[in-house]
Amino acid sequence: MQSKDKPIISISQLTKRFGSVVALDELNMSVQAGEVHGFLGPNGAGKSTTIRVLLGLLKKTSGEVTLFGQDPWKNSASLHKQLAYVPGDVNFWPNLTGGEIIDILGELRGGLDEARRADLLVKFELDGSKKFRTYSKGNRQKVALVAALASDVMLYILDEPTSGLDPLMEQVFQTEIRALKDQGKTVLLSSHILSEVEALCDRATVIREGKDVAVYTLAELKAEHANLEALFLSQYKDK
Amino acid sequence: MWTLIKLILRRDRVKLPVWIGVISLSLLSMIPVLQKTYGDQSSIDVLYQTFSVNPAGLFLTGPVDAPTFGALVTIETLLWWGLAIAFMSTLLIVRHTRHNEETGAQELLLSGQIRRSSSLAAALIVAVAANIVMGLVIGGGLVLIAGEYWSPEHSWLFGAALALFGIVWSAIAAAVAQLFENTRLVNGVLAGLIGIAFVARGIGDFMGKVGSDGLLQPAWISSLSPFGWLQATRPLTFPDWSPLTTSLAVALAVSAVAFLLLARRDVGMGLVPARKGRTRASKFRRTGLGLTWHLQRNIAFGWLVGVLAMVGTIGIMTPEMTNIYDSSDSIKMLVESLGGQGALIPAFLSAMLAIIILMVVAYALQGLGKLRDEESSGHLESLLATKLSRRRWAMLHIGTVVVTSVIMLALTGCVMALGVNLLTDIEVSVAEYTLAGLSYGPIVLLFAGLYLLLFGIVPRVAGLVTWAYFGVVVFMTWLAPVMDIDKSIMNISILEHLPASPAEDIKLAPMLWITGIALLLVVIGFTAWSRRNLIER
């Protein structure tokens, strides 16, 4: 169990190179237990790369990364028992149904809450009997969302989870995340949707070209700028 | 429409020339090879007589129309290269029609100023053109190198017949692509149709009667099959251009049907609605093994059916083999070099066993290919974000493929022996043949090791390199004996190092060292896999 002041995710001077391309450049970020932490940045800034390093899918070039206090590269399989992931690009097996995929991922995460699963399928208006390849983009995302939200873990890593959803579903999503927060869970939310980050996040790390540019609490933001959009523009305009 | 054609050509700018080149050149290279093996007229005479009196060989190769070199080349090449051309054409059409719709590329194209039917038309035009080019290359090539055996008219008819054959299959593919939403299903149905067409022709020949002109008249069932029309042109013996009109008419009619079907459906849908699946995953499917089996299942069953079909066919042909092999020295030498010593039936069966083993290896390669598939498609990303570890995931797939391969190897030997015992009055030991099949296990392990090694170090080329080496082994097994290749080069093929059991005794030593190498490759591959980045697409 994490102690109150030890971060669930701690990233320090993380660098990731692919050949000569520097994807992450001495990135720093930390996510405390029980917070909803936003992860903001333009396309290609390195958000997904960072998440992949956290998940043990990519090997860091240099720097320190800890997840639940351990090395995510070495202990990925055991650490993953405590987290659920929604990928930015949802790709699942085309001939399995949404329901089957949710069950499979749930089992591989250590178990699904049946009541919660049924409840989420209703709330997100998802028909679990259709084969994955027949779903629209938004529905594909819902499969990944329901699979993640139906599991009972400590950390949720969500990579642009609502980019294909309509405003109604966006509200459903936000309600669910608030519920998780009330339960003391931790959420890392990578998102482009500023209103979503404003509505949900306690703090947000802004990343640009592989470097962390700023970390803001929402209170600080609201004090300094009218909204995050101005923040975005002010951070990015000097390119 | 011209833009669409250019798009297709650009996308397939490597694939098409390679397909056309490999098919044409390999066909043309058979001429000197066959000349070497069956050079003397006496072998050809024997072949002619044997085929005239026994129907079993007809099923596989079709009739020998005359005691000429042309007849020999026909039975050795026409149908087999036809098969390759059928696959080339159908895969091409499906790739540029149904596959486009499935990926969504079609939607993007159609938002431009083109008609819905233009894509289909463009795909058909390219397929027709490719087949025509290939027909010209084959025909022209034959004119150049086979001038001493037959006149140019024969050569051009050979090329034309194959070209129209491919065009017929392009039309059929165009129609089938309208029916189903799923590309894999379409390709599977087409492969099934090609198989059925081949078998129909086989049955027609098997049951045919020899007419007054001394030529085999196939039973009516052959006239329903494109393979039947192809063969009826008898290009290198008694050329007949009229079956080409049948092919052309059918191609036009089926294409028209394809366009009609296209007009009746929505883009992205098929005329046959997609089936719904289960709402909940079964207990088995929720486990790592269950998911793995779901992904491996179709590949396994498909190849199992193919392997058993081959074994069955060999069982039927065995008794007839004695006639052919007994009566020609050069053929006897061929069998001896493939591994037979002493009694010719075990020699023949052992040679056939080795060839079916290659089919099992092909299955293994396709099954192992799932490793890269799952990684590059992005499926693996979500899986590895759970408590499933990299090693366990890889082991599940490799284990499934290896176990299935071993079962296939044992079944091959067992069923072959049972078939021979039941269908002929020759008696062979089922246990001996089953063990013979299993003795090739190390080959499968070696290929698995090779694939895993590459998957761990250079995943993007894992499939390519293993299939390429497989191609080398196939080439060595099939052609090298007739081409007198130097032994040191032959040893590149791993199959060379195992005795052709059961005609030759099973040797433990090569089995052990091949397995040893395989295990080493597996260990290195595993370690590399555990240490590298996940590489998608």
What ipTM does this complex have? 0.87
Token digits for B187? 């390709």
Token digits for B326? 């007994």
Do B12 and B149 have their domain in common? yes
What CATH number is given for A9-236 in this structure? 3.40.50.300
Residue B43 lies in a domain: yes
Closest CA to B493 of B340, B354, B303: B354
Do B257 and B298 have their domain in common? no
Do B238 and B329 have their domain in common? no
Q: How far apart are CA B100 and CA B108, in angstroms?
A: 10
Q: At B119, is the pLDDT very low, low, confident or very high (cuts 50, 70, 90)?
A: confident
Say whether B377 and A57 touch across the interface (CB within 8 A).
no
Do B300 and B383 have their domain in common? yes
Do B294 and B441 have their domain in common? yes
Q: How far apart are CA A73 and CA B499, in angstroms?
A: 46
Query: How are beta strands A83-86 and B209-210 bridged, if at all?
Result: unpaired
Residues of B with CB under 8 A from a CB of A: 102, 181-182, 274-281, 285-288, 290-291, 294-295, 377-379, 381-390, 392, 531-534
Is-contact A103 A114, C-beta < 8 A? no
A93 at interface of B, judged by CB pairs closer than 8 A = yes
Sign (positive/negative) of CA torsion B49, B53, B59, B62? positive
Token digits for B233? 């042109």
CA distance A190 to chain B (A): 16
Query: Would you give per-residue pLDDT tens digits along chain A (239 residues)?
Result: 444 568 999 999 999 999 899 999 999 999 999 999 999 887 788 999 999 999 999 999 999 999 999 999 999 999 999 999 999 899 999 889 999 999 999 999 888 889 999 999 999 999 999 999 889 889 999 999 999 999 999 999 999 998 889 999 999 999 999 999 999 999 999 987 777 888 899 999 988 888 888 888 888 766 655 555 655 655 555 54
Q: How far apart are CA A161 and CA A143, in angstroms?
A: 11
Is-contact A171 A142, C-beta < 8 A? no
Is-contact B511 B518, C-beta < 8 A? no
CA distance A152 to chain B (A): 13
Say whether B280 and A99 touch across the interface (CB within 8 A).
yes
Token digits for B79? 């149908």
Highest mean pLDDT among A143-157, B336-350, B476-490: A143-157
Q: Where are the domains of chain A?
A: 9-236
B530 interaction partners in chain A (CB closer than 8 Å): none
User: In terms of pTM, does the model score above 0.90?
Assistant: no
Do B256 and B308 have their domain in common? no
Query: Residue A59 — φ and ψ, nearest 5°?
Result: -95, 130
A204 at interface of B, judged by CB pairs closer than 8 A = no
Token digits for B71? 């007849």
Say whether A87 and B381 touch across the interface (CB within 8 A).
yes
Rg (CA), chain A: 18
Interfacial A residues in 122-151 facing B (CB < 8 Å): 128-131, 133-134, 144
Say whether B382 and A109 touch across the interface (CB within 8 A).
no
Say whether B286 and A130 touch across the interface (CB within 8 A).
no
Do B318 and B425 have their domain in common? yes
Q: Which residue of A has its CA nearest to B531?
A: A59
A23 interaction partners in chain B (CB closer than 8 Å): none
Query: Percent of chain B scored above 70 by pLDDT?
Result: 91
Say whether B276 and A129 touch across the interface (CB within 8 A).
yes
The pLDDT of residue B433 is above 50: yes
CA distance A102 to chain B (A): 8
Interfacial A residues in 98-127 facing B (CB < 8 Å): 99-101, 103-110
CA distance A57 to chain B (A): 5
Do B107 and B16 have their domain in common? yes
Say whether A100 and B102 touch across the interface (CB within 8 A).
no
Residue B102 lies in a domain: yes
- Tell me the pLDDT tens digit for each residue of B50-64: 766 655 567 777 888
DSSP B78: I
Residue B488 lies in a domain: yes
Q: How far apart are CA A43 and CA A58, in angstroms?
A: 19
Token digits for B58? 């007809």
B284 interaction partners in chain A (CB closer than 8 Å): none
The pLDDT of residue B403 is above 70: yes
Q: How far apart are CA B321 and CA B57, in angstroms?
A: 9
Closest CA to B242 of B255, B225, B229: B229
CB burial readout B74-108, b (16+ within 10 A) else e:
bbbbbbbbbbbbbbbbbbbbbbbbbbbbbeeebee
Sign (positive/negative) of CA torsion B471, B476, B480, B481? negative
Token digits for B219? 């039973």
3-state secondary structure of A112: strand
Query: Helices in B97-182 by DSSP H: which ranges?
Result: 98-103, 105-110, 116-145, 152-176
Facing residue for B386 by CB, picked from A80, A91, A92: A80
Facing residue for B281 by CB, picked from A94, A103, A157: A103
Q: How far apart are CA A36 and CA B159, in angstroms?
A: 69
Query: How are beta strands A155-159 and A186-190 bridged, if at all?
Result: parallel
Say whether B279 and A97 touch across the interface (CB within 8 A).
yes
CA distance A219 to chain B (A): 33
Do B221 and B363 have their domain in common? no
- Counting the structural domains of chain B, the total is 2
Token digits for B511? 């089995």
Residue B268 lies in a domain: no
Say whether B382 and A85 touch across the interface (CB within 8 A).
yes
CB burial readout B256-271, b (16+ within 10 A) else e:
eebbebbeeeeeeebe
Decide: residue B301, CB within 10 A, 0-12 exposed, 13-18 middle, 19+ buried: exposed
Closest CA to A61 of A9, A17, A13: A17
Identify the residue whose tokens are 């995931």: B393
Identify the domain containing residue B345 by its residue range. 288-531
Q: How far apart are CA B241 and CA A237, in angstroms?
A: 73
Say whether A85 and B385 touch across the interface (CB within 8 A).
yes
Say whether B276 and A103 touch across the interface (CB within 8 A).
no
Say whether B285 and A77 touch across the interface (CB within 8 A).
no
Sign (positive/negative) of CA torsion A203, A206, A207, A212? negative
Is-contact B116 B126, C-beta < 8 A? no
A160 interaction partners in chain B (CB closer than 8 Å): none
B534 interaction partners in chain A (CB closer than 8 Å): 52, 57-58
Residue B279 lies in a domain: no
Say whether A134 and B274 touch across the interface (CB within 8 A).
yes
CA distances (Å), origin A85, targets A127, A160, B233: 21, 11, 62
Say whether B383 and A134 touch across the interface (CB within 8 A).
no
Q: How far apart are CA B362 and CA B359, in angstroms?
A: 5
A78 interaction partners in chain B (CB closer than 8 Å): 387
Q: How far apart are CA B307 and CA B437, in angstroms?
A: 12
Interface test with A, best of B386, B388, B531, B535 (most A CBs within 10 A): B386
Neighbour tally for A78: CB within 10 Å: 12
B288 interaction partners in chain A (CB closer than 8 Å): 108
Facing residue for A100 by CB, picked from B285, B287, B379: B285
Of the two residues B208 and A138, the one the predictor is more confident about is: A138
Asked if the bond preceding B502 is cis, omega within 30° of 0, the reply is yes
Say whether B278 and A100 touch across the interface (CB within 8 A).
yes
Identify the residue whose tokens are 């190092």: B497
B274 interaction partners in chain A (CB closer than 8 Å): 131, 134
Residue B335 lies in a domain: yes
B103 interaction partners in chain A (CB closer than 8 Å): none
Average pLDDT, chain B: 86
The pLDDT of residue B342 is above 50: no
